[in-house]
Amino acid sequence: MKELLRNTIKKIHPVGDEALDAFLELWQEFEAKRKQIITEADKTERYLYFVIEGSQKAYFLHDGKEYIVAFSYPYAFTCIPEAFLTQKPSKYYWECLNDSKFLRISSDSFFNFIKTNKEFETLLLKKLLGTINGLVNRYHRLIALSMEERFLDLMNNSPQLLTFIPQKEIANYLKIDPTNFSKLINKVKI
């Protein structure tokens, strides 16, 4: 599992083998079951995760209704980023959509390691910039695109989501009624 993490890190930013080996030693295996909530709203995010198997959703509740803001799946870093980076309580829940396997590192270990290994600051900066870019693009799609355009954008950029994320969850993420989402799937050739 750690070899997957090593390869992912090297694709993001080159780091020395000695520092990378020391960093990988800080990661521990973790498993969670389907529907298990990993991070709860109003709790501090104590870990950064690397997904090995499974898929997860991040969401918030408002007036008893769930609003999905993100999905995570192999081989990505994940957590509730603002709660992890600030060590303040999360506004979101992060839940497994199916049985999942991860590597995880505690926030203390992560930040202490970065303080003494400056090349990992660049790695973190690159991931943060990617996250910010993704958020800005998501806001744009939600505000500026029609329901069908949001669906087509997802099919063009992330069609693999249909293979491991339930359609009702994708519909929620795209802010499309599940019935309309089903019609779009039947209408559009994938």
Sketch out the chain's domains with CATH numbers: 2-117 (2.60.120.10)
What is the predicted pLDDT for the residue at 9? 92
Does residue 136 surpass a pLDDT of 70?
yes
- Summarised one tens digit per residue, pLDDT across range 80-96 is 988 999 999 999 999 99
What is the predicted pLDDT for the residue at 189? 63
What is the predicted pLDDT for the residue at 134? 85
Buried/exposed 127-156: b ≥16 CB within 10 Å, e otherwise: beeeeeeeeeeeeebeeeeeeeebbeebbe
